[in-house]
Amino acid sequence: MTARPRRTCLYMPGANTKAMEKAKTLAADVLLLDLEDSVAPEAKEQAREQVAAAVKAGGYGKREVIVRVNALSTPWGQDDIAAAGAARPDGMLAPKVESGDQVRALDEAMTRAGFAKDATLWVMIETPRAILGIAEIAAAANGTRLSCFVMGLNDLAKETRARASSGRAAFHAAMALTVTAARAEGLTAIDGVYNDIADAEGFKAECEQGLEFGFDGKTLIHPSQIKTANAVFAPTEEEVARARAVIAAFALPENAGKGVIKVDGRMTELLHLEEAKRVVAVAEAIGAMAS
């Protein structure tokens, strides 16, 4: 079982070459080189050239490099995809995806642009239609590169007129539906950004809430958020030890063929074995990132 850690997905503005260079030294699992929201219309073309050059130059080590393009419906989307495909990043993040047909169109555009066969497609879930069609969007993973959902709660708040208050009560349904749809199709689910960079306690609490909802990681807007998110979304030492114990117990000859066994006094089923394997795979992948 392989598991690429995606605890921390840091947005880096494509118009800022210094930021993209600094990203080579940061402990983020994923770098989201952005051509969309963080780039003004008049700077789109220059940012596209800078991002493509940065990806081609490399130097990002084991970090996963994803380019967020503008939507196909904009004047910049097609050119963004073409430039990203030529640069060969690990994947592409597309905004405001609302249907399975859009996923398939993006997948086809990636193929035409020359993306590697193993390059992944990430999509933003950030509109009411996306939430209402989340199962259909997730199902489009069958036969496409779709790999990951990214919550865009700032946009969803604007579209729904919901108040983005502490605790995010207005978004609980959307968050739960997104995670559920992702899990149904074996996709990664990444939580939205936390806007108040100075509020370290609030950020940690929101990371912990995202973990409770089942998200694999969080999108970040500042390097100061990396350490906390990496810690929250990593399996704890106790979780890893428990997982290894479960795997070892099911591997014993006397437990061969059993669906339920006792591990350290707890009733443990085969479903727990699968989760244990996932936890160990994630922990090992995190260790490999650090080495």
What whole-number distance in Å separates Cα of residue 48 and Cα of residue 33? 10
pLDDT for the residue numbered 1 = 42
Average pLDDT, the chain: 95
- Predicted confidence (pLDDT) per residue in 128-172, tens digit: 999 999 999 999 999 999 999 999 999 999 999 998 888 999 999
- Predicted confidence (pLDDT) per residue in 162-191, tens digit: 988 889 999 999 999 999 999 999 999 999
- Would you say residue 217 has pLDDT above 70? yes
Whole-model pTM: value is 0.93
The model's confidence at residue 288, banded by pLDDT at 50, 70 and 90, is confident
Report percent pLDDT > 70 for the chain: 99
pLDDT for the residue numbered 206 = 98
CA distances to 31, 176, 208, 284 from 234, rounded to whole Å, are 18, 20, 11, 11
CA distances to 49, 124, 167, 237, 244 from 121, rounded to whole Å, are 21, 10, 30, 32, 32
Per-domain residue ranges of the chain = 8-232, 237-290
Lowest mean pLDDT among 183-187, 239-243, 266-270: 266-270
CA distances to 248, 249, 268, 279 from 260, rounded to whole Å, are 14, 11, 6, 19
- Predicted confidence (pLDDT) per residue in 27-58, tens digit: 999 999 999 999 999 999 999 999 999 999 99
Residue ranges in 114-264 assigned as alpha helix (H):
128-132, 134-139, 153-160, 172-184, 200-213, 226-232, 237-251
Select 8-232's CATH number: 3.40.50.2000, 1.20.810.10, 3.20.20.60, 3.40.190.10: 3.20.20.60
The model's confidence at residue 4, banded by pLDDT at 50, 70 and 90, is confident
